[in-house]
Amino acid sequence: MSRLLHKFRAIFLSHNSSFELTLRTFYHKLAVTQLFFNLQNFIANRSYNKFRKRQQQKSDKEALLPTYGPKVTFILSSSTSDPTEIKSTLETIISLHGDNWEVIISSSKSQFNFDIVNINDSRISLVKNDLLSIFNEINESYVVFCEAGDKFSPNLLIEFYRTLVNGKPAVLTYYDCEYFDKGSNRIQPFFKPTASSPALMLSVNYLSRGFVYSPILKKYIQEFPRHRDLLCFEYSMMLNLCEAQDEISHIPKVLLTQKALAVPDSEELRTVVENHLTHQGLNAVSSTESSTGIRFAWKTNSPSLAIIILSKNNAHFLKTLIPSLAAQPYDGHKSIYIVDNGSEDLATLSLYEKIRQEQDVIIAPYPKPFNYSEAINLGVNTSDSDLVLLMNDDMALLEEMWLDELSQWAVRPEIGVVGAKLLRRNRTIQHAGIIAGLSGYAGHIYLNAPENYHGLMGSANWYRNYLAVTGACQMIRREVFTRVGGYDEAYRLAFGDIAFCLKVYEEGFQNVFSPFARLYHFEGSSRGYETPLEDTLQGYKMLEPYLVNDDPYFSQNLTYNRIPKCVSTFRTEDERKQQIAARKRFYLKK
């Protein structure tokens, strides 16, 4: 369907013509409706059922073990589980293709009766409170931590062994899963990112149940007595492995039905994450539980902040936004810079006269043909602060702690650009991160979904690393902004924010999305949906390496739609290049 629409568009429409802009505006209005989202969500859920059937059929045909197959030790936590769950997990391990494995059942229950499991296999043993010695005895093999109730795919070992055939083995190999979600009372898939995502690890241990190389395990076993609980120890170890950027590989297949996602929803697991953040050098780490998840916080040294807002004739929003920003609690010194692009509206000019009297509100004139990137650079260069926050003027504040949330991330030396969760008036998602390749170019994931949406790539309420976050709300350290040369002024209206984030990413910084910094964004209120041709063509040149390959923070199993579906066929590199060329021909009318 999308190919047919693009063909129709290429034949009958001219880029940025009045008719094309009218249709594009109509599409945006249609896309925000509940009916449109419901249809996309229905298609996404149905696509997963088809995906699982295709994967199973393909696995049945490929069920041949590679010749190389090291021993795998499953360490099964049974402390809080009943015998039927233990038995169901053991039965799936016994049914694995390949027999070079063992299971160690860990139980802290002194009266645990192994006989009730009623499985007789010499490769299965029970250990009570003596796992430390077991860890020391595991040599040159791999370990999988699991929980009673987990159910593994028969092809788990086959898929893992295939990753070991060529090259140096990874210290950790993880894979996609599905799990029982109590909220929706159904099985929910979780397609995981290919790249290491330390931010995501704060919300969910997406590396859980992965294959850990035993020599690496031994680097962390001294921490086990402090945790005691197996899954707490696993979470702690995975946090360290992810942060260290060690060699980690991903199998893009659903190989596990997990009893429950490993999220820090208990006091023990929250303490694990808090301790990890403290060991990273963060001060006064704490956590707060809310209906949308666990927020982790740490103290900063109260960095100064300049808020840069571009505007023209927009008193309607500014008369509310500026006072609320000025009153916003913030630990450090805060100033507001309005880069004004030649306003002549009397209401706006009157508002400027009023707010000029306010402390720390500066009007920076920008009397030139509007160039978004140039105006951003002007605002940043006019200011003098540790941090800069780039904001659109068509925003409204939703809660008090959002500035502290963004700033606590922005001050960390490994972090580049930090983005917020932006909502429409009806509390649907306007921004929860940007995926390269979405809608053929780059776009907002989960656009127009409900605020707390949980789709095929997980929850919109999780911390995440992304290649890019929207320029409608970006915070960054001034030193990083300067280091990458600020915004590229060759981008006049569109894609400058994405180009900026990619420059920061390519300098080695991590860009982060926080769902706990929430604002309203009334998108399109300021300047509509015009996209200059030059911006688009230059953007394709910048993005091409990310369009030919998959976005590292996305999944190759998902389509590049705002509400992703499972793919039915994988595109080759040549097909991707042909699609890019076809889109360029449309824009150039060739």
C-alpha span between 573 and 70 (Å, rounded): 33
* pLDDT tens profile 366-379: 999 999 999 999 99
Q: Which of 234, 263, 292 is the last residue of a domain?
A: 263
Q: Does the pTM of the predicted model rise above 0.85?
A: yes
Residue 201: is it exposed, middle or buried by C-beta count within 10 angstroms (0-12/13-18/19+)? buried
Q: Are 577 and 2 contacting, i.e. CB atoms less than 8 angstroms apart? A: no
Residue 105: name the closest of 96, 119, 423, 97 by CA.
119
**Does residue 390 share a domain with residue 250?**
no
Q: Is the domain of 43 the same as that of 69?
A: no
Do residues 512 and 409 touch, judged by C-beta distance below 8 A?
yes
Alpha helices in 209-338 (DSSP H): 214-217, 224-227, 230-243, 267-279, 315-326
Domain shared by 432 and 470, yes or no: yes
> What is the pLDDT at residue 313?
96
Q: Tally Cβ neighbours within 10 Å of residue 471.
A: 26
Are residues 580 and 536 in contact, defined by beta-carbon separation less than 8 angstroms? no
Q: Is residue 137 part of a domain?
A: yes
CATH number at residue 501: 3.90.550
Element (H, E) at 477: strand 473-477
In a domain, 280, yes or no: no
Residue 337 lies in a domain: no
Helix/strand/coil percentages in the chain, nearest 5: 35, 25, 40
pLDDT of residue 347: 96
| 250 and 224 in a common domain | yes
Q: How many CB atoms lie within 10 A of CB 346?
A: 10
pLDDT at position 1 is 45
Q: What is the per-residue pLDDT for 587?
A: 61
Which residues, listed in sequence order, are joined to residue 305 by a DSSP beta bridge? 334, 387
Are residues 502 and 563 part of one domain?
yes
Within-domain flag for 270: no
106 and 255 in one domain? Answer: yes
The token pair that represents 337 in the structure block? 């810079």
- Number of structural domains (the chain) is 2
- The verdict on 38 and 152 lying in the same domain is no
Range of the domain at 547: 7-48+301-306+384-588
Burial of 590 (0-12, 13-18, 19+ CB in 10 A): exposed
- For residue 306 the two structure tokens come to 């300049």
Verify that 84 and 149 share a domain, yes or no: yes
* Three-class DSSP category at 582: helix
Q: Are 87 and 38 within one domain?
A: no
Q: The domain spanning residue 199 has which CATH number? A: 3.90.550.10
Q: Are residues 13 and 102 in the same domain?
A: no
Q: Report if residue 324 sits inside a domain.
A: no
Q: In this structure, is residue 438 part of a structural domain?
A: yes
Query: What pLDDT, on a 0 to 100 scale, did the predictor assign at position 2?
Result: 47
Give the pLDDT confidence of 197-206 residue by residue, as tens digits.
999 999 999 9
Same domain for 170 and 42: no
Distance in angstroms (rounded) separating the CA atoms of residues 258 and 178 = 6
Cross-strand pairs, 106: 77, 127
Specify which residues 185 forms β-bridges with.
none
User: Tokens 């697991």, residue?
Assistant: 269
Which amino acid belongs to residue 7? K
442-444 and 454-455: which strand pairing? unpaired
Is residue 314, in this structure, part of any structural domain at all? no
Place of tokens 């799990």: 179
d(CA 17, CA 98): 61
State which residues of the chain have pLDDT below 50.
Answer: 1-2, 590
Both 27 and 151 in one domain: the answer is no
Question: What residue ranges in 4-121 does DSSP mark as E strands?
Answer: 72-77, 101-106
Strand intervals (E) in 424-542: 429-431, 434-436, 442-444, 454-455, 458-459, 464-466, 473-477, 510-521
Asked if the structure places residue 361 within a domain, the reply is no
Q: Can you read off the two tokens belonging to residue 225?
A: 């007595």
